[in-house]
Amino acid sequence: MKNPLFPPLSASRPLPLLAAILAALALSAAVPAARAAEGIQISEARLMAPIPGQKVSAAYLRLTNASGRDMQLVGVESAHAERIELHSYANRDGLMRMVRLDSLPLAAGEVLTFRPGGNHLMVFAPDIAAIQSGQFAMTFQFADGATLETDLPVAQPGKSRKKSDKKSDK
């Protein structure tokens, strides 16, 4: 009995499905799997709910590197936002302006503070349902491929200002 799904193999006939499967396996082996960023701790984290009518928000936190090795934060993602960017402020022509950063160093044993007026995360088009749930999931990405997933509590604008917001960034 002939099976139309599995025709007999023939040396003269190419095997496109098998070739596609082998190619996919080869590519997946070349891409390193994400691993947990061991020794990185997040504290004092919060996402500020957007001001009504606005489609952008900010997140503040402290990243502590207790890993014993230098790290480089290269991005942050969330399924609940269009995009998240690393930002800071810089003096340009005598004016303080917000600037986008490609990465931030996090030396071994150091703390990186994200606060108003300093380093912070800009969250573009955050999902309102996630904001209303009170928790906002984010994944921090490091240059070595490590990732750190966390849920940030959502704070209302004008509230939840922390003492660490007044300290300088490292």
**pTM, rounded to two decimals:** 0.73
> Does 42 map to a domain?
yes
Closest listed residue to residue 123, CA positions, set 136, 133, 141, 132: 136
Query: Is the per-residue pLDDT at 36 higher than 60?
Result: yes
Domain tally, the chain: 1
98-153 pLDDT, tens per residue? 999 999 999 999 999 999 999 999 999 999 999 999 999 999 999 999 999 999 99
> Does 168 map to a domain?
no
Query: Is the per-residue pLDDT at 160 higher than 90?
Result: no
Contacts of 17 (CB under 8 A, 6+ apart): none
> Does 2 map to a domain?
no
> Does 3 map to a domain?
no
Are residues 106 and 64 in contact, defined by beta-carbon separation less than 8 angstroms? no
> Does 21 map to a domain?
no
Query: Is the per-residue pLDDT at 37 higher than 60?
Result: yes
> Does 14 map to a domain?
no
> Does 7 map to a domain?
no
Are residues 122 and 43 in contact, defined by beta-carbon separation less than 8 angstroms? no
Domain CATH code at residue 135: 2.60.40.1890
Question: How much of the chain exceeds pLDDT 70, in percent?
Answer: 72
145-158 pLDDT, tens per residue? 999 999 999 998 86
Question: How much of the chain exceeds pLDDT 90, in percent?
Answer: 64
Domain of 125, in residue numbers: 36-157
Residue 37: CB atoms within 10 A of its CB come to 24
> Does 59 map to a domain?
yes
Please, which pLDDT band fits residue 43 given cuts at 50, 70 and 90? very high
Q: How far is CA 101 from CA 80, 105, 159, in A?
A: 21, 11, 26
